[in-house]
Amino acid sequence: MRPDVETDPGSTPLEMGDKGMMLQVLALHVPGLTQILAHVIAEVRGSVNKDINGAELLYSLLNAPWLQSLLKVESILHTLINSELKVRVHHLLLSLQVYEIPKPSNEARELYALLSHPHLQALLSAHDTVSLRDYEPDLPPLPKDLPEDEEAMRIVCLVKNNQPLGATIRRDDVTGEIYIARVIHGGLANRSGLLHAGDRLVEVNGQPVFGLEPEQIIQILTHSHGTIMFKVVPITDRPVNNQNMLYVRAMVDYNPHVDPSIPCADAGMAFRKGDILEIVDRSDTLWWQAVKLPSITACAGLIPSTSLLKRSQKELWWSQPYHPYTCVKTSGFRRSLRLCRQRRGQDFGTSQFCTLFCPTSCYSLLANPYEEVVRYQHHPEHPHRLIALLGPSGVGVNELRRRLIEINPKVYQGAVPHTTRPPKCHEGSGREYHFISREQFIEFGELRGHLYGTSVDAVKDVLASGKICVIDIEPYALESVRTAELRAYVIFIKPPTVEQMKCTRMNSHIITNCYTSRPFKDEDFQEIEDAGRNMEQHYCQFFDHVIVNDGLQAACVQLLTAVRRAQDEPQWVPTAWIRPTGQS
Ligand SMILES: Nc1ncnc2c1ncn2[C@@H]1O[C@H](COP(=O)(O)OP(=O)(O)OP(=O)(O)O)[C@@H](O)[C@H]1O
């Protein structure tokens, strides 16, 4: 039997109008199976013509639609494997057209509509353009007669949007040249990867900048729209940034808009005491770049470095008139015996006491405007973190502490205070108090001729027993409890408004200085609110958590949650607790 080979693809048996033509095109890509079938069909057709037995059956079998479909699938799959994304989707569209006609299913229709959508088509084109790296500009060849000392220039085009450019410039006073002073981490310029600190700026939007004042250049930039073109001479030796990541807790407030020394106030970042900052660039000794955590923007801001902040704080300190009583005073001696480290013979709240021992005294802040911190997760096998409650007298610190311990005395415990007063008949040593002599005291408070206080050892005893020690402290004891040993988690018990206190404390009694209780008066609430505000203003940088003691029940639940979180969840703690000085 001589094969009747049909070489003209336009007349192959696969012809089915337009779609048939498309399949022929596919078939051209895959000549194998389709061509063999064409041969076979031609042979069989010859047999039919010669009326050979069974040939008709075979002919109809080979022409069966399902076999044709199978072949088309094979052809398309083969093409898909070897083509670009857009072509692949195009072929997918063809196959949908080919197979689903005349009875297209809903899914096929939806898929067809999706794939042929202009957005998807544009996306596919973009994908293929990028994958083929078909985006390099066509640059004219370099002129042959370039002088030897011709500087290499870089032309950078940035599309201006609502974001700031993220770079600052400076003028060299001697040469008059303009340089990129710094590129802000995460800003537009930084993300372009094309502008670097130290690059010399030659032109902005075709306008030479030599001799201009930085403010004049900023004016050009401000009035430009759309694409901004910079011509720069790139810095030859770009410094390598091999600094470690640094996290700090701000111990002071900072507002770039009232700082006359900042190179660019708009590039500055304001922060408040207690904010956690991630320092992303310390290459400049005076101005660091930082991001406030948790970060809502990738773009960093300028903040003063430790040395600069110390310098300006010192200047501010000396320029202030002398106030002998600048520290927070607590009103009256509290019923509770707050952990204190007061020297014998010194009164509470004197300025001398504060400047010498208060961790938050101005001297202390000058030494440490930023506290280096790390993320710390309490290890289950280590002693628990001490829970230190702080709040103005009368706000309910003791009430909350007592209620927490009552919830589960096997888990929570207070520290037994020490006193020099003689035991009362119902009191036992080591239960209500440790009764000791005056000579055994070193740093405690005095009331009506007797010394009172809670010792660090008493706290350590509770922690060593495996319990969570909950104490209440005065602000000046913060330094004693924020140590590597006790790792205090400080919770501020904040008073609600006077009006709210009037409602919630209607039936409550305040314990006065003389160990007598009486109903709260309006002036008590005012005093509590004022003392709370003062305390927060001065010490908020040390607070790990704040609870507003409005409704007692709700505050208690919040306390329980916070205490659990302190032990179970990672927290920012001073690096010195984890890595004592000297280790890195
Ligand atoms: N949220 C609240 N609602 C109603 N009463 C409260 C609330 N919190 C505390 N109290 C009551 O207020 C009074 C003072 O509370 P507490 O003794 O705990 O104050 P404190 O902050 O420990 O001050 P101090 O140490 O000077 O005694 C107590 O009678 C207490 O029951």
What is the rounded CA–CA span in Å between residue 545 and residue 205? 51
User: Quick one: which atom of ligand 1 is closest to the CA of 550?
Assistant: 1
How far, CA to CA in Å, does 58 sit from each of 7, 42, 43, 165, 318? 22, 11, 11, 74, 107
What is the rounded CA–CA span in Å between residue 201 and residue 199? 6
Give 359's contacts (C-beta < 8 A, 6+ positions apart).
476, 478, 479, 482, 542
**DSSP code of residue 342:** P
**Alpha carbon 490 to chain centroid distance?**
23
459 C-alpha to ligand 1 centroid (Å): 23
Place of tokens 């607070």: 543
- Residue whose Cα lies nearest atom 1 of ligand 1: it is 552
Q: What is the pLDDT of residue 245?
A: 81
SS3 308: helix
| pTM, full prediction | 0.66
Q: What is the pLDDT of residue 26?
A: 41
399 C-alpha to ligand 1 centroid (Å): 5
Place of tokens 């350590």: 460
Q: What is the pLDDT of residue 433?
A: 79
| Of 488, 446, 422, 219, nearest in space to 348 by CA | 446
Assess contact for 433 and 423: CB atoms under 8 A.
Answer: yes
How many other CB atoms are there within 10 angstroms of residue 317's CB atom? 12
Query: DSSP of 376-401, one letter per residue?
Result: E---TTSPPPPEEEE--TTSSHHHHH
How far, CA to CA in Å, does 524 sit from each of 235, 399, 495, 515, 520? 66, 17, 12, 16, 6
Q: Is any atom of ligand 1 closer than 6 Å to the C-beta of 398? A: yes
Query: How many alpha carbons fall within 13 Å on the CB side of residue 547?
Result: 27
Q: Is any atom of ligand 1 closer than 6 Å to the C-beta of 334? A: yes
How many other CB atoms are there within 10 angstroms of residue 529's CB atom? 20
Assess contact for 318 and 362: CB atoms under 8 A.
Answer: no
Assign domain 369-415+454-578 to its CATH architecture. 3-Layer(aba) Sandwich (3.40)
What is the rounded CA–CA span in Å between residue 451 and residue 418? 8
How far, CA to CA in Å, does 97 sit from each of 19, 112, 407, 492? 8, 8, 71, 70
SS3 100: helix
H, E, C per residue of 216-258: HHHHHHHCCCCEEEEEEECCCCCCCCCCCCEEEEECCCECHHH
154-233 domain in CATH 2.30.42.10? yes
Token pair for residue 543?
Answer: 């607070």
What is the rounded CA–CA span in Å between residue 189 and residue 198? 13
| Of 87, 89, 95, nearest in space to 115 by CA | 89
Q: Is any atom of ligand 1 closer than 6 Å to the C-beta of 336? A: yes
530 C-alpha to ligand 1 centroid (Å): 16
Token pair for residue 200?
Answer: 């010399």
**Cis peptide bond prior to 3, omega within 30° of 0:** no
509 C-alpha to ligand 1 centroid (Å): 8
H or E element at residue 543: none
Q: Is any atom of ligand 1 closer than 6 Å to the C-beta of 414? A: no
How far, CA to CA in Å, does 77 sit from each of 34, 120, 324? 14, 21, 87
Phi-psi region of 582 (alpha: psi -120 to 50; beta: other; left: phi over 0): left
Q: What is the pLDDT of residue 294?
A: 87
| Of 486, 300, 484, 539, nearest in space to 374 by CA | 484
Q: Sign (positive/negative) of CA torsion 173, 177, 178, 182?
A: negative
What is the rounded CA–CA span in Å between residue 207 and residue 11? 66
Residue type present at position 112: Y
Per-residue pLDDT of the chain (584 residues; tens, 9 = 90+): 333 333 333 333 333 333 333 434 344 444 456 666 777 777 777 777 766 666 677 777 777 776 776 677 666 666 655 556 666 666 666 665 555 445 556 666 676 776 777 777 777 777 777 766 666 666 677 777 766 666 778 888 888 777 778 888 888 888 889 999 889 988 888 888 889 989 999 999 888 988 888 888 888 888 888 888 899 998 887 766 666 789 999 999 999 999 888 888 888 999 999 999 999 999 888 999 999 998 777 789 999 999 898 887 766 655 555 444 333 333 334 555 544 433 333 333 333 333 333 444 444 555 689 999 999 988 888 899 999 999 998 999 989 999 999 999 999 999 888 888 888 777 778 777 788 877 766 556 776 777 777 888 889 999 999 999 999 888 888 988 999 999 999 999 999 999 999 999 998 888 765 567 788 999 999 999 999 999 999 999 999 999 999 999 999 999 999 999 999 999 999 999 987 664 44
Assess contact for 400 and 337: CB atoms under 8 A.
Answer: no
Domain boundaries, the chain: 9-129, 154-233, 246-319, 369-415+454-578
473 C-alpha to ligand 1 centroid (Å): 15
246-319 domain in CATH 3.40.630.20? no
**ipTM higher than the 0.90 cut:** yes
How far, CA to CA in Å, does 194 sit from each of 23, 131, 154, 188? 49, 22, 8, 10
Token pair for residue 461?
Answer: 């005893």
Locate all alpha helices (DSSP H) within 388-497, ordered by sequence: 397-407, 456-464, 478-481
- Residue whose Cα lies nearest atom 5 of ligand 1: it is 505
Assess contact for 477 and 341: CB atoms under 8 A.
Answer: yes
Q: Is any atom of ligand 1 closer than 6 Å to the C-beta of 330? A: no
Token pair for residue 296?
Answer: 């809502």
How many other CB atoms are there within 10 angstroms of residue 67's CB atom? 12
Q: Is any atom of ligand 1 closer than 6 Å to the C-beta of 492? A: no
Assess contact for 33 and 67: CB atoms under 8 A.
Answer: no
Biggest alpha carbon–alpha carbon distance for the chain: 132
SS3 349: coil
| Of 200, 138, 192, 168, nearest in space to 265 by CA | 168
Pocket test for ligand 1, best of 398, 498, 524, 535 (most atoms within 8 A of CB): 398
Residues in the chain: 584
Q: Is any atom of ligand 1 closer than 6 Å to the C-beta of 396? A: yes
Give 445's contacts (C-beta < 8 A, 6+ positions apart).
333, 337, 340, 342, 348, 451, 452, 453
**Alpha carbon 241 to chain centroid distance?**
21
